[in-house]
């Protein structure tokens, strides 16, 4: 069973993602900010991280940088509501080490497709 860490500050979305992933057979951990995410990564060693780019305290890009400084090779699916708004955030996320990006809002089917692709390529 693959282990996934969901890092999302929106409690409602984080809860929905957790239920969706658990209903599809994944073991899920969650964090509401970058600092908690880094602690959870060290402790749980997830197979995949779903990482919101805009977080309180330590944003997703900073979290990505710290993750890869520690030589972590875990795959990261970066999610954000600003990928389609011309901010260039998707390109930055990929540059900083995300394996894939996904713009919010997204459907359960599209999200699960991204998750399955990343886990299959691990």
The pTM for the full model equals 0.90
pLDDT of residue 58: 76
pLDDT of the residue at 69: 77
Domain with 78 in it? 3-120
pLDDT at 122: 65
- Please tell me the predicted confidence (pLDDT) of residue 14: 98
Question: What was the pLDDT predicted at 61?
Answer: 81
* Number of folded domains that form the chain: 1
Buried-state track 34-69, b at ≥16 Cβ within 10 A, e below 16: bbbbbebbeeeebbbbbbbbbbeebbbbbbbebbee
| Contact present, 28 and 6 (Cβ < 8 Å) | yes
103-116 pLDDT, tens digit each: 899 999 999 999 99
User: What is the pLDDT at residue 23?
Assistant: 98
Residue ranges in the chain modelled with pLDDT below 50? none
Task: Assess contact for 114 and 121: CB atoms under 8 A.
Answer: no
Measured CA to CA, the distance from residue 41 to residue 107 in angstroms comes to: 26
Tell me what pLDDT residue 12 has. Answer: 98
CATH number for the domain spanning 47: value is 3.40.50.2300
- The confidence score (pLDDT) of residue 90 equals 61
Closest to 63 measured CA to CA, from 82, 81, 84, 42: 42
pLDDT for res 13? 98
């Amino acid at each position: 069973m693959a282990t996934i860490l969901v890092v999302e500050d929106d409690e409602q979305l984080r809860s929905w993602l957790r239920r969706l992933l658990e209903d599809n057979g994944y073991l899920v951990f969650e964090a509401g900010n970058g600092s908690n995410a880094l602690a959870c990564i060290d402790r749980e060693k997830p197979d995949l991280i779903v990482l919101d780019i805009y977080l309180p305290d330590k944003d997703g890009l900073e979290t990505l940088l710290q993750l890869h400084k520690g030589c972590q090779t875990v795959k990261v699916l970066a999610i954000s509501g600003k990928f389609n708004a011309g901010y260039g955030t998707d390109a930055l996320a990929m540059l900083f080490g995300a394996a894939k990006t996904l713009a919010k809002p997204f459907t359960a089917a599209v999200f699960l497709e991204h998750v399955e692709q990343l886990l299959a390529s691990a």
